[in-house]
Amino acid sequence: MPGLRLGLTIYESDPKLSRHAMTRSDLLTSQLWIGGVTNRKTRTMIEEPRRWLLLVEGTDVLPAVRADGVELCQWDLEQIYPGDHPSPENAVGLIISAMDVDACAEEEFNDWYNTEHMPVLSNLPGMLTARRFRAHHGRPSYIALYHVSDLTIYAKSSWTAVNKTPWTKRMRRYQHNRTYFMFVRTANPT
């Protein structure tokens, strides 16, 4: 399979997608989510102001999906971990962690994320997929996407323990422009 590409767009208002936009044959998947910024203390979703996330997935360069909404941020991403696994269709929640990394630590950052952080998170109960992406367009430049069976997984001690390893603590000092969002699946447009 050619490289898996992901388009993520976060909107400030409902993008009013048509059924055609959500079911195009040139996309592997397209999903619409609703949510907000993550409260880092409680590890829960801040529901206001409401945000919408359009996720489109395909191979190579993604075709544009027309939407009528005010864009907050947009990314064109290439999957770098774990290969070519696509988004699951059965996820209830989606957690996004985005960050930039100091150039002096980028090689070690990628090694840490791919060999320690993601493999442990991938095995947590309730985790459907844990994937990483590098931005071709958009900031921050690294995105981790977690499709989960329940958003409460993010507040459980099993997840927070992953963030307390010595290597994780070391790598945190090289990360900046960190952004966190949580979303739940919306009904597809009719």
Residues 6+ apart with CB under 8 A from 49: 12, 36
Q: 31 falls in which pLDDT band (50, 70, 90)?
A: confident
Burial class (CB in 10 A: 0-12, 13-18, 19+), 79: buried
The answer to whether residue 169 is domain-embedded is yes
> What's the CATH number where 164 sits?
3.30.70.100
21 vs 64: CA distance, rounded Å: 9
**Which tens digit of pLDDT belongs to each residue from 116-150?**
999 999 999 999 999 999 999 889 999 999 999 99
**Which tens digit of pLDDT belongs to each residue from 71-104?**
778 898 999 998 778 889 899 999 999 999 999 9
Residues 6+ apart with CB under 8 A from 170: none
The secondary structure of 68-106 as a DSSP string is -S-EEEEEEEEEEESSSPPPPSS-SEEEEEEEEE-GGGH
CA distances from residue 146 to 51, 65, 123 in whole angstroms, order as listed: 17, 23, 12
Nearest to 89 by CA among 31, 151, 19, 25: 31
The answer to whether residue 55 is domain-embedded is yes
Query: Are the C-beta atoms of 105 and 174 separated by less than 8 Å?
Result: yes
The answer to whether residue 190 is domain-embedded is no
pTM of the model: 0.90
Q: Which helix (H) or strand (E) holds 127?
A: strand 127-137
What is the distance in angstroms between the CA of the first residue and the CA of the last residue of the chain? Answer: 31
The secondary structure of 15-27 as a DSSP string is ----HHHHS-TT-
Number of domains comprising the chain: 1
Give residue 143's domain range: 4-185
